[in-house]
Amino acid sequence: MDIDEGAIDDPGGRKWDVRLFPANDARAEKENKKKQKQEQAKEEQLQEDMDKVTKVIGNLEKPSPASIIRDLAKISTQRTNVALYELSAEGLIKSEELKAGNGHKCSHYSPIEEMAGHDGTQRNTVESLHNSTTAG
């Protein structure tokens, strides 16, 4: 059951609109809203993680492994990996296989630099990404 009481100052006075629908429909609608809210929270968390990772990568002086980025961003391994994957897929960071401190090769991440303007100066696209993701 869904009841819309209206407001006292509504033209014609207060109204009482009552809708009846099966309990299964009400439960399904409630579950649907819950799932939508969870999905929205996941998307917001991913965007926040991407912003953190972007900021860390933009501040690093050399390509760095995910573990360094994770520690500096202060987020979990799984969330760091998802953020790195999304940023790589969007072409906003690059990954290259380099030797780590232990001598084993692993992915190291760095910002993608591109030529900007006609004067040949370089700019960091990660900074541009960070500005564009926080603006929207």
CA distances from 6 to 2, 14, 20, 26 (A): 12, 6, 17, 21
Assigned domain for 9 exists: no
Assigned domain for 64 exists: yes
Tally of domains within the chain: 1
Q: What is the pLDDT of residue 135?
A: 52
Residue 89: give its domain's CATH number: 1.10.10.10
Q: What is the pLDDT of residue 112?
A: 87
Assigned domain for 60 exists: yes
Residue 63 structural domain: 26-112+120-135
Q: What is the pTM of this model?
A: 0.62
R_g of the chain, CA atoms, integer Å: 24
Assigned domain for 2 exists: no
Phi/psi at 121 (5° precision): -75, 155
pLDDT tens for residues 62-81?
999 999 999 999 999 999 99
Assigned domain for 13 exists: no
Sheet with 93-99, side-by-side order of all strands: 64-65, 105-111, 93-99
Q: What is the pLDDT of residue 33?
A: 92
Q: CA-CA-CA-CA torsion for 66, 70, 75, 76, nearest 10 degrees? A: 50
Average pLDDT along the chain: 81
Say whether 74 sits in a helix, a strand or coil.
Answer: coil
Residue 93 is inside which H or E element, if any? strand 93-99
Regions of the chain with pLDDT less than 50: 115-127, 129-130, 132-133, 136
